[in-house]
Structure 1
Amino acid sequence: MAFSCSLAGGVILGVALWLRHDPQTTSLLYLELGDRPAPSTFYVGIYILIAVGAVMMFVGFLGCYGAIQESQCLLGTFFTCLVILFACEVAAGIWGFVNKDQIAKDVKQFYDQALQQAVVDDDANNAKAVVKTFHETLNCCGSNQFTALTTSMLKNSLCPSGTNIFNSFMKEDCHQKIDELFSGKLYLIGIAAIVVAVIMIFEMILSMVLCCGIRNSSVY
């Protein structure tokens, strides 16, 4: 029973750490435009998963020890911890659902601001570096086909190597690439959260059944 909780916690922790250190998101969300850092709201959900995974591993060992010792106190503590974790996960899920579109929107606004500075100002080296990182990481150019064409004509060095006026129309715009990147990552977070929630529900039911069984057996 509790071993599956520890195992699930380890899996969730591994997925969260992989998402946290994913090269694409890391290279984009560590950028700075002047004194303004890139939006890091995406990492809030990742940190919650890391915390939940680590605590689940500890709570799982607590439940295992309580089951071996047939301790109502430890099993009750195990149940209480699961309830708290479940409540935190539900709250995080609601927050993620509300902010799922805002995350990509903030990153796109950050990119648009950098692109505008890079195209207008020849001395905006910081903005050019930010834009080139977006273009090379996502293999895109411009926020739409028009800006991709404009960027290729005016600032060809900002676009990925090999991009010219003709194949600018063939490349996906960066707004679409940003949406795809974060929707895919949030989809993984959602799957992980659902799996954890289902396991927690079963763990809570089984821990209460076991606790009641121990209490009834002690009466006789």
Structure 2
Amino acid sequence: ILGAVILGFGVWILADRSSFVSVLQTSSGFLQTGAFVFVGVGVVTMLMGFLGCLGAVNEVRCLLGLYFAFLLLILIAQVAAGTLFYFNVGQLKQEMGDVVGKLIRTYNASGQDSLQEAWDYVQAQVKCCGWVDFRNWTDNADLMNRTELTFPCSCQAA
């Protein structure tokens, strides 16, 4: 069941186009690669779970040993991935900030694309405005050149 959950999470990351995940996918291939890793780990976990059950039911020591070895390998890979994520969280935040900053600078209120719709969705769901605060929108020349100060409709400026 856990393998199916991991597989579903990876497919969700790849398929979702209306949330913050789609904004992050433009920053680098890191998230997309991570999604493929989730899909692969999910499939392997499901396969190993099946082989482990088959080995337990039929009392096949080889399948049980293979099941244990792959579980140990998956545990080591998860610890390594968690460690890499922990030590690279600053770089990941910087990349995300750069992507969102570029999106805000090039945001065109009259013409929507999927990335702008995704950022509008994020702002509406999180009830935020900009990356750090609403002043991030002052970087957008299109919005600042208007006669009255306007923000996107999704922006919940304080």
Question: What TM-score does the superposition give when structure 1 sets the normalisation length?
Answer: 0.52
Offset of 1:150 from its aligned partner? 6.3
CA 134–102 in structure 1, closer or farther in 2 if over 3 Å, else same:
farther
Determine if contact 1:66/1:74 at 8 Å carries over to the other structure: yes
- The equivalent residue for 2:28 is 39
Determine if contact 2:3/2:44 at 8 Å carries over to the other structure: yes
Structure 2, unmatched stretches of 5+, are: none
Offset of 1:158 from its aligned partner? 8.4
Structure 1, unmatched stretches of 5+, are: 1-6, 31-36, 171-220
Question: What is the one-letter code of the residue matched to 2:144?
Answer: M
Aligned residue pairs, count? 148
Question: What is the one-letter code of the residue matched to 2:20?
Answer: T
Offset of 1:59 from its aligned partner? 0.6
Is 1:154–2:145 an aligned residue pair? yes
CA distance in 1, matches of 2:34, 2:15: 14
- The equivalent residue for 1:33 is none
Determine if contact 1:24/1:137 at 8 Å carries over to the other structure: yes
- Residue identity over aligned pairs, in percent, reads 27
Determine if contact 1:9/1:54 at 8 Å carries over to the other structure: yes
Is 1:108–2:103 an aligned residue pair? no
Question: What TM-score does the superposition give when structure 2 sets the normalisation length?
Answer: 0.68
Matches within 5 A, 1:106-185: 106-116=95-105, 118=106, 132-133=116-117, 135-139=119-123, 141-143=129-131, 144-149=133-138, 151=140, 152-154=143-145, 159-161=151-153, 168=157, 170=158
CA distance in 2, matches of 1:44, 1:158: 37
CA distance in 2, matches of 1:157, 1:129: 23
**Structure with larger Rg:** 1
Offset of 1:14 from its aligned partner? 1.9
CA 111–82 in structure 1, closer or farther in 2 if over 3 Å, else same:
same
